[in-house]
Structure 1
Amino acid sequence: MTTPSRDLWAHLCQHTPARIALGRTGVSLPTREVLDFALAHAQARDAIHLPLDTEALCADLQRQGWPSPLLLHSQARDRHEYLLRPDLGRRLDDESVARLGPPDATSPDLVLVLGDGLSALGIQQHGAALLGAIRRALDPAVRLGPLVVVRQARVAVADEVGERLGAAAVAMVVGERPGLSSPDSVGIYLTHAPRVGCSDAQRNCISNVRPAGQDLDTAARRLAWLFGESRRLGLTGVGLKDHSGLPLTGLPTPAGSAPGLN
């Protein structure tokens, strides 16, 4: 019987969840590593297909003192269509457009949007707590628009929400593409002057937001800093650099978990 060989990199495992120092049995991986990979792959797939439980999410939000959010839906009718047609996830369906109604005459400074994205699990587990951290981090003088939850959502659907609500800026809190060690990652996308047709170059992204990545409070403070600078400069995106000085706390973004969901 061949015994697993000792990997001299094994001590580095305490610093990262990345798959390093896996060892080997003969010319193959140890059985435990093959099984761990299969489990992580299944968790990533489940995170993509898991439906967002909006009833439980709304209950979590209301326990934090938020009013009942506006529940909207993209033009992607179901998960299958959402995955095959990213363009449909970027626009609201007709019923949601009607529910939003005409632009708000008060023109809110910022609208917060929650979207399931490619990991409803991340929003389910961290969405309410992250919104609470954002509310604490923002200047109390900031006028928030109605809270919005969008199902089958891509990042750009928030542009239409913000435009129809007459918002000066929109922050999309969305489930990120799962990695093999991060099925619950959340991203925050800030866009100044949101409107249909905005490009990714016009957004600032805060990625890998989760307890094992960039912690919620740090991400919220980073968003508050970026929002303050966006108001001062009148822009977001490539022209707005993060000079907040806040640390990228926690673990590095694992392979497979990447910003750029749109």
Structure 2
Amino acid sequence: MNNNVDVWSSLRLTTQSRIGLGRVGSSLPSHRVLEFKAAHAAARDAVHVPLDAGAFLERVEELGIGSPAVVSSNATSRSEYLRRPDLGRTAADLSALSHTCDDIGFVLADGLSPRALADHGIGLLEALIAELGPIYSIAPPVVALQARVALGDHIGHATGVHTTIMLIGERPGLSVADSLGVYLTHHPKPGRSDADRNCISNIHPPDGLDYVRAAKITATLVAGARQLGRSGVDLKDTSTDELAGTDILTLD
């Protein structure tokens, strides 16, 4: 047997996980150690580097669903946001929001990966508008800074929308630093729990879920929530067989 043959090479093409890293003596090969350090640095940067809100707002406004409002949580800095998750769940001031009572309200949140929102937020929002716009009325979007998922409940309640769809940067890992999640809450209001909302995770093409698929699943959940009268653990994905197998979670 040729000891120089890398039997893991074909398997690595099918996953972002670190498999078959090899060893040199009792340690990893130097290039594997450097890959790990680079991935760790990318994850740290994704958490700590803030969203360029000005540039992002301009891109959102170009989508033509109204001028976006900006809301900040009660976390006054990125450091405080990371140390105090509770402060990220409530808003410092909601006076900039209009009570529209529209069907859908989009909340674009930086979350634990502002990079994910910057990289994928516009593309996903375009797909969602294309899927939902012909059917439902859409409120002007809200950009939420230093935000946790529950902040969407306060925003949705203040705007009076029937369903809040929050796009938020997910916690970075050593394989993916720019994954975006969608959290859907029907009849949002402060005090909603994890069991009251649905999540579509791992949105980061080309390696994760693509925008069109995510939008179609979201549309199915919106329709189901309106029929059922609620979102959360009782609401299941009923999208087509083409989309079967995608994880639909109820997470905070």
Question: In the alignment, which of 97, 100, 106 is matched to residue 100 of structure 1?
Answer: 97
Give, in whole Å, the separation in 2 of the partners of 1:185 and 1:197: 26
Distance 1:139 1:62, change over 3 A: closer
Q: 1:141 corresponds to which letter in structure 2?
A: I
Alignment match, 1:175: 169
Question: In the alignment, which of 238, 243, 251 is matched to residue 247 of structure 1?
Answer: 243
Alpha carbons 2:194, 2:250 under 8 Å: kept:
no
Alpha carbons 1:204, 1:237 under 8 Å: kept:
yes
Q: Is 1:214 matched up with 2:213?
A: no
Q: Which piece of structure 1 moves more, 37-46 or 66-75?
A: 66-75
Q: 2:121 corresponds to which letter in structure 1?
A: G
Q: 2:14 corresponds to which letter in structure 1?
A: H
Give, in whole Å, the separation in 1 of the partners of 2:130 and 2:245: 19
Q: Is 1:54 matched up with 2:53?
A: yes
Specify the SS of the correspondent of 1:114: strand
Give, in whole Å, the separation in 1 of the partners of 2:61 and 2:238: 34
How far residue 210 of structure 1 moved from its aligned partner, in angstroms, is 0.8
Distance 1:68 1:50, change over 3 A: same
Identity %: 45
Alpha carbons 2:195, 2:250 under 8 Å: kept:
no
Distance 1:121 1:248, change over 3 A: farther
Alignment match, 2:44: 45
Q: Which runs of 5+ in 1 are unaligned?
A: 253-257
How far residue 259 of structure 1 moved from its aligned partner, in angstroms, is 8.0
Question: TM-score, with normalisation over the residues of structure 2?
Answer: 0.92
Alpha carbons 1:218, 1:249 under 8 Å: kept:
no
Question: TM-score, with normalisation over the residues of structure 1?
Answer: 0.89
- How many residue pairs get aligned? The number is 247
Distance 1:127 1:155, change over 3 A: same
Question: In the alignment, which of 127, 132, 136 is matched to residue 133 of structure 1?
Answer: 127
Q: Which runs of 5+ in 2 are unaligned?
A: none
